[in-house]
Structure 1
Amino acid sequence: MDFALILLLILIGTGALWGLDRWLWAPGRERRAQALAEAGKTGDAALARKEPIYVEYARAFFPVILIVFFIRSFLAEPFRIPSESMLPTLYVGDFILVNKFSYGVRLPVANVKVLDSGLPKRGEVVVFRFPGDPSINYIKRVVGIPGDHILYKDKKLYINGTPMEQGDGRPYFFSPESNAHGQETLRVTENLDGIRHDILTTNRQDVPLPEIVVPVGQYFVMGDNRDHSNDSRYWGFVPDRNLVGKAFLIWFSWDVAGHDKWFWERIVWNRLGNSIH
């Protein structure tokens, strides 16, 4: 189940319990307690006034869940990076925050936009619901906006006929598997419409991709780890309705390979608080 749906159901449940007790059950308990008090049974009257334990929990948790639900639905939502497709920008084990109102305010669970607040720009890192399975969230970089002519050839990205500037490649090593079979990995700085960021390329042959035009209301996305990313080159465009938000901050980072380390040693301290470009 969708975590947002789970939160909503808990919110409705705790709110309903609290409301029923306040307007229906509590007055009944008070009437019984007054009758017992008038009969001289003060101890029983005190017990009659006591609210059930499940009502106590509902009253305590409802405001907390309401705040969490509001923040997560309309302000910022946390996500964990599960793959290497956005290296070297994002590592496996990074925990990020996503701005939920960058691309419009949407109703929780239904994901229906009710207020426009902006559109994705080239170079921004976005989280979206995968078009092939909306229950899965993906994170990629926007390289093409509606109307753009996109061409990816010989490890270079061309937008509207203009090649995006790339700096000299530097050797990069990030895992034995990815560097196997003679795949030399290079770290290259790319300037994508004014946003400078690093990408990874190998000597693996590019996927044949003819020049395409991004349709209205859709976006072309790619991973920074260009030869190890499942992105728009393989499955197509991201519709606006699938956008979740703009990734902007690494709030925690965990060394997934440090199984023999202590807890505090596995925290990658120098990544905490880094902004995402």
Structure 2
Amino acid sequence: MRLLKRFWREYRGLIAFLFLMTLFRSAIADWNVVPTGSMLPTIREGDRILVDKMAYDLRVPFTHIAIAHLHDPKRGDIVTIDSSAAHDLLVKRLIGLPGDVVAMRDNVLYVNGRKADYQPLAMSPVEGDANSPADYYVEHFDGISHALRLSELAPSPRSTFGPVTVPAGEYLMLGDNRDDSADSRYFGFFPRSELMGRARRVAYSLDPDRHYLPRFDRLGVALDGAAIASASR
């Protein structure tokens, strides 16, 4: 008992700090490691992304229980999803809202019967594309523009689907790397309770192909239009 009291006296400041930091990361903001390329070219493997945990809901810390709905998710948001179907934390782009009718034909997106517009994007190949060449495009739809990647050699077997209607309270998500993303085409629709926050920036990035050296050009990059802005420089 004496040892516990002594330990508490000496380290209570550190314990309180760690508890408050854990509470902050659970309910307010967090950073997540991105281990795959499913969101290329917007998010790179090794990026540590900042996530606004209060973008949509105020939750009881360490749970999925929402105390209050703050904002509705919007089309084009990059969302972190604690997916029960995938048994993993996913990062995807919100494409279909509740009630939307979504279809895809050879990687061309249709929402509510309207076809998205595509323009080629001239940019240098991103990490990992040397042995897997790809084409980059800007997808325009509903006032939103973002970059996406299409593989030249390995098109996805699910580049065509639908039309499907997004149920009430659920969302359809796709990766920007359309030919290499496990998203709603594999796991179905994602309920709002699994949407944990909105990813807004890259906190910092470590390059797994170069012994995890820092990528200084990724420091603080805003994810909205990041790949498009990079290509225009």
Q: TM-score, normalised on structure 2?
A: 0.86
CA distance in 1, matches of 2:150, 2:40: 10
1:166-198, Cα deviation, whole Å (9 max, x unpaired) = 11254764426862xxxx511001123222110
Change (3 A) 1:228 1:205: closer
Matches within 5 A, 1:137-156: 137-156=89-108
| Larger-gyration structure (1/2) | 1
* Counterpart in the other structure of 2:6: 53
What's the secondary structure of 1:152's corresponding residue? strand
Aligned equivalents of 1:221, 1:172: Cα separation in 2: 26
For 2:217, the equivalent position in structure 1 comes to: 270
Following the alignment from structure 1 to structure 2, what is the Cα–Cα distance between the partners of residues 71 and 191? 35
Give aligned-pair identity as a percent: 30
Q: Report the Cα distance in structure 2 between the residues aligned to 1:205 and 1:72, rounded to whole angstroms.
A: 35
Say which SS state the counterpart of residue 182 (structure 2) adopts. coil
AA at the equivalent of 2:61: P
CA separation of 1:130 and 1:173: change in aligned 2, threshold 3 A: same
Deviation at 1:70, TM superposition (A): 3.1
- 1:66 CA drift (Å): 3.4
2:220 maps to a residue whose letter is: G
> How big is the alpha-carbon RMSD for the aligned residues of Structure 1 and Structure 2?
2.3
Q: How does 1:65-84 map to 2 (within 5 A)?
A: 65-84=18-37
Partner of 1:42: none
- SS, match of residue 167 in structure 1: strand
Q: How does 1:1-277 map to 2 (within 5 A)?
A: 52-134=5-87, 136-168=88-120, 170=122, 173-174=125-126, 175=128, 179=132, 184-203=133-152, 204=155, 206-207=157-158, 208-259=160-211, 266-277=213-224
CA distance in 2, matches of 1:138, 1:51: 40
1:205 CA drift (Å) = 5.5
Structure 1's unaligned 5+ residue stretches are 1-20, 26-49
Say which is worse superposed, 169-178 or 107-116, in terms of deviation. 169-178
Residue 83 and residue 106 in structure 1: after superposition, are their counterparts in 2 closer, same or farther (change >3 A)? same
Bigger mean CA offset, 198-207 vs 250-259: 198-207
- Retained in 1: the 8 A contact 2:86–2:187? no
Question: How many angstroms does 1:270 deviate by?
Answer: 1.2
CA distance in 1, matches of 2:198, 2:85: 20
Q: Give the structure with the higher percent helix.
A: 1
Q: Which amino acid aligns with 1:256?
A: P
Aligned to 1:15: none
TM-score of the aligned structures, taking structure 1 as reference length: 0.73
Determine if contact 1:122/1:192 at 8 Å carries over to the other structure.
Answer: no
Q: Deviations over 1:11-65 (max 9, x none)?
A: xxxxxxxxxx9xxx9xxxxxxxxxxxxxxxxxxxxxxxx9942122452223202
Query: How far apart in 2 are the matches of 1:192 and 1:82?
Result: 28
Count, aligned residues: 220
Q: Counterparts of 2:220 and 2:124 in 1: how far apart (Å)?
A: 24
- CA distance in 1 between counterparts of 2:18 and 2:190 reads 31
Change (3 A) 1:64 1:191: same
Runs of 4+ in 1 over 3 A off after TM superposition: 169-174
Residues 171 and 76 (structure 1 numbering): CA distance in 2 closer, same or farther, change over 3 Å?
A: closer
Which letter does structure 2 place at the counterpart of 1:95? R
> What is the distance in 2 between the residues matched to 1:235 and 1:167?
29
Alpha-carbon distance in 1 for matches of 2:96, 2:108? 14
